[in-house]
């Protein structure tokens, strides 16, 4: 009888285990099916062509390739396809630097001149290693030089030769003053690593990271190396793909020269939770919020901030970084609290990897998320390239109100610049004009339209639109520079309004744009400041008694009063959007 009871208990216990196992498998399969449906639709719309890996609670729950690694030979992407990483390389460079700090071989607060005595003394004595890591050195970004893509990027350089390209350039600002993304800074860090270790950057990467982690499918990319399963890079031209422009991989160097697979990057992700590569004290320093950047913060080679959970109003803390290099764009997002990660490596132009990551995050958390829509801007562009301008305009007019397509200011603006760079100036002008009609309160659309007009010698009309852009956003320095180039006197053009202190004080308080996302408005002396949840405070300047603008980003704020003159809300104008925030305090 006792034996029978034990048998029954054991049977019941095993049934419970089986039940929970079934639930777990079903739950996992549901997420897998959701991920598959989401990514297949992105692939079907031509918005993702690459490899993906998703992990949750430290375990890979999904990995797959989409589209072609090589279109000529119709070789598909797979989880072990090697993609160029672009700026994801920076987090590896930053870790090598921190290893040297941990070993006592390098001082973060020492200047460049200490480690590179041949570097320009004018700049080398001013810039610290910390400032290079955080993009606060003021060193001009060499990839923004006018001749970079046509000349510099196509030729081989030694690290020392690369450094000489920008070493004597005038700094963009006093080191430490603010953030400005600079690939040049990470070129300098690579050179410092070589000088301190007396080894090549590539060799140090291999010895200190790749070999210990058994990242056998990761390395420093070289054009002449026969590399199995290496993806080719492509760009879209209208509705057709074409090979991306050539770049010599010596030019991105420690700022963007690596290749890897999603599987190897998962090994990297998991190692960062341990002390295998670096003691925790120094690892934590990499994730400090040193400087506001991109609406979040920048640490050492990483962006630190929050990621929305699907299309909900909630978010999770993340550590991440994107990358982009001819024909490739990449994104690694780590959610330490959930021990989750999303790794996306794309080899056809500019995929919306941030949108894909947000949707995947929704799937991981079991919340609603958005499926992709075909971009109206891309379809209009295809009509123009494949047919003509009239076909593109007709398609736009027919579909501009359709919910079937996504439509935003930024996408249309990018499409306009694509036409402008392709020499289709009249087409670009027409597209920028469409953007003005759709987003008449955006400063940026007038600035872009003016540029297309100026390119065609329509200077009077260009001047009028630059002036309109500056009227909407007095912080538009590019507009002022262009007006000067066009011979317009700009002194005194920007005059901030004088607002009584009592009126400024009436604007103080919290304004809720959505649950959990609040703008706090405060006053210091006669200066009004605005700070959004999880972001730094910005000074805001008055265009009028109720209209204010931000100088460091393109955004405006209007305070709204009721019939009694009491402030009840504000409206944020940014990126073609108008968002109302009710005053809650």
The DSSP element (H or E) to which 124 belongs, if any, is: helix 121-124
- Taken as a whole, the chain contains a residue count of 585
Taking each helix axis as running N to C, give the angle between helix 425-438 and helix 389-399, from 0 to 180 degrees, rounded to the nearest 10: 20
Pairing state between β 405-406 and 374-375: parallel
For 204-214, write each residue's pLDDT tens digit. Answer: 999 999 999 99
The whole-angstrom separation of Cα 304 and Cα 298 is: 6
Residue 525 Rama label (left phi>0; alpha psi -120 to 50; beta) = left
The DSSP element (H or E) to which 331 belongs, if any, is: strand 328-335
Phi first, then psi: what are they for 486, rounded to 5°? -90, 5
The whole-angstrom separation of Cα 305 and Cα 43 is: 28
Select from 410, 408, 380, 407 the least CA-distant residue to 394: 380
Burial class (CB in 10 A: 0-12, 13-18, 19+), 214: exposed
| DSSP string for 453-496 | HHHTT-HHHHHHHHHHHHHH-TT-HHHHHHHHHTT---TT---P
Q: Measured at the alpha carbon of residue 141, what is the angle toward residues 172 and 242, in degrees to the nearest 5?
A: 150
CB 554 within 8 A of CB 572: no
Long-range contacts of 15-22 (CB under 8 A, 24+ apart): none
Residue 299's CB is within 10 A of a number of other CB atoms, namely 22
313, HSE (Cβ side, Cα atoms, 13 Å): 8
Helix (H, G, I), strand (E, B) or coil at 87: helix
CB 460 within 8 A of CB 484: no
The whole-angstrom separation of Cα 579 and Cα 396 is: 25
Helix (H, G, I), strand (E, B) or coil at 342: strand
**Mean pLDDT throughout 532-549?**
84
CB 301 within 8 A of CB 92: yes
For 383-395, write each residue's pLDDT tens digit. Answer: 999 999 999 999 9
CB 351 within 8 A of CB 345: no
The whole-angstrom separation of Cα 198 and Cα 115 is: 12
The whole-angstrom separation of Cα 326 and Cα 245 is: 6
* pLDDT, position 13: 34
Classify residue 245 by its DSSP letter.
P
The whole-angstrom separation of Cα 24 and Cα 16 is: 12
Classify residue 349 by its DSSP letter.
S
Q: Which residue has the higher pLDDT, 469 or 19?
A: 469
- End-to-end CA distance of the chain: give it in Å, rounded: 71
**Mean pLDDT throughout 369-389?**
91
* pLDDT, position 477: 82
Phi first, then psi: what are they for 307, rounded to 5°? -125, 130
Classify residue 523 by its DSSP letter.
E
* pLDDT, position 207: 98
Model confidence at 553: pLDDT above 80: no
Model confidence at 180: pLDDT above 80: yes
- How much is the pTM? 0.74
CB 291 within 8 A of CB 278: no
Which domains are delineated in the chain? 83-243+250-365 (3.40.710.10), 383-485 (1.25.40.10), 501-583 (2.40.128.50)
48, 318, 336, 400, 538 from 305: Cα distances, Å: 24, 5, 12, 34, 17
Give the pLDDT band of residue 105 (cuts 50, 70, 90): very high
Residue 262's CB is within 10 A of a number of other CB atoms, namely 31
Select from 25, 21, 36, 20 the least CA-distant residue to 363: 36
Cα torsion 351, 353, 358, 364: sign:
positive
**Mean pLDDT throughout 147-161?**
89
Model confidence at 195: pLDDT above 60: yes
Q: Which residue has the tokens 């860090």?
A: 189
The token pair at 10 is 């054991």
Phi first, then psi: what are they for 131, rounded to 5°? -70, -35
The whole-angstrom separation of Cα 51 and Cα 78 is: 6
Phi first, then psi: what are they for 373, rounded to 5°? -120, 150
Lowest mean pLDDT of 6-10, 357-361, 469-473, 581-585, name the range. Answer: 6-10
The whole-angstrom separation of Cα 528 and Cα 508 is: 8
The token pair at 302 is 């990483």
Model confidence at 469: pLDDT above 70: yes
Select from 442, 493, 486, 437 the least CA-distant residue to 462: 486
The whole-angstrom separation of Cα 105 and Cα 112 is: 14
Model confidence at 63: pLDDT above 50: yes
Helix (H, G, I), strand (E, B) or coil at 250: coil
**Mean pLDDT throughout 303-314?**
91
**Mean pLDDT throughout 554-559?**
89
Give the pLDDT band of residue 26 (cuts 50, 70, 90): very low
* pLDDT, position 27: 46
The whole-angstrom separation of Cα 201 and Cα 273 is: 24
Give the pLDDT band of residue 578 (cuts 50, 70, 90): confident
């Amino acid at each position: 009888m006792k034996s029978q009871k034990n048998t029954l208990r054991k049977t019941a216990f095993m049934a419970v285990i089986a039940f929970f196992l079934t639930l777990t498998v079903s739950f996992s399969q549901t997420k897998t099916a959701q991920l598959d449906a989401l990514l297949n639709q992105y692939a079907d719309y031509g918005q993702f062509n690459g490899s993906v890996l998703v992990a949750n609670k430290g375990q890979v729950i999904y990995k797959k390739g989409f589209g072609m690694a090589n279109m000529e030979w119709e070789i598909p992407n797979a989880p072990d396809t090697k993609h160029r990483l672009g700026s994801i390389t920076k987090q590896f460079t930053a870790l090598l630097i921190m290893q040297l700090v941990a070993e006592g071989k390098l001082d973060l607060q020492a200047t460049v001149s200490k480690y590179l005595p041949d570097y320009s003394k004018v700049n080398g004595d001013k810039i610290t290693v910390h400032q290079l890591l955080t993009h606060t050195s003021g060193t001009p970004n060499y990839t923004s030089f006018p001749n970079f893509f046509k000349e510099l990027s196509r030729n081989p350089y030694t690290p020392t030769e690369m450094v000489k390209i920008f070493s004597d350039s005038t700094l963009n600002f006093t080191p430490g003053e603010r953030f400005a993304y600079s690939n040049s800074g990470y070129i300098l860090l690579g050179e410092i690593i070589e000088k301190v270790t007396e080894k090549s950057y590539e060799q140090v990467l291999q010895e200190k990271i790749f070999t210990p982690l058994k990242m056998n499918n990761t390395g420093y990319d070289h054009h002449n190396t026969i590399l199995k399963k290496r993806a080719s890079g492509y760009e879209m031209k209208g509705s057709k793909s074409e090979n991306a422009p050539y770049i010599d991989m010596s030019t991105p160097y420690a700022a963007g020269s690596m290749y890897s697979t999603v599987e190897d990057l998962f090994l990297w992700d998991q190692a960062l939770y341990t002390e295998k590569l670096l003691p925790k004290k120094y690892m934590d320093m990499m994730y400090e919020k040193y400087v506001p950047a991109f609406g979040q913060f920048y640490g050492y080679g990483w962006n630190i901030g929050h990621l929305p959970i699907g299309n909900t109003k909630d978010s999770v803390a993340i550590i991440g970084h994107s990358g982009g290099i001819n024909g490739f764009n990449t994104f690694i997002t780590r959610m330490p609290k959930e021990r989750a990660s999303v790794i996306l490596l794309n080899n056809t132009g500019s995929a919306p990897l941030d949108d894909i990551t947000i949707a995947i995050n929704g799937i991981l958390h079991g919340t609603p998320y958005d499926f992709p829509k075909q971009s109206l801007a891309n379809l209009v562009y295809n009509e123009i390239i494949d047919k003509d301008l009239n076909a593109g305009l007709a398609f736009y007019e027919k579909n501009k109100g359709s919910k079937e397509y996504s439509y935003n200011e930024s996408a249309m603006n990018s499409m306009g610049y694509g036409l402008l760079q392709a020499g289709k100036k009249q087409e670009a002008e027409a597209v920028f004009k469409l953007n003005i009609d759709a987003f008449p309160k955006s400063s940026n659309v007038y600035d872009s339209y003016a540029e297309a007009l100026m390119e065609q010698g329509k200077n009077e009309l260009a001047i009028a639109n630059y002036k309109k852009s500056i009227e909407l956003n007095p912080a538009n320095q590019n507009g002022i520079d262009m007006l000067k180039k066009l011979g317009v006197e700009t002194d005194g053009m920007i005059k901030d309004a004088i607002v009584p202190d009592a009126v400024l004080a009436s604007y103080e308080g919290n304004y809720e744009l959505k649950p959990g996302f609040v703008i706090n408005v405060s006053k210091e002396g006669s200066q009004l400041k605005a700070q959004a949840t999880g972001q730094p405070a910005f000074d805001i300047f008055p265009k009028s008694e109720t209209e204010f603008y931000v100088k460091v980003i393109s955004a405006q704020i209007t305070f709204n009063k009721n019939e009694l003159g009491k402030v009840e809300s504000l409206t944020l104008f940014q990126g073609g959007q108008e968002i109302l925030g009710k005053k809650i305090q």
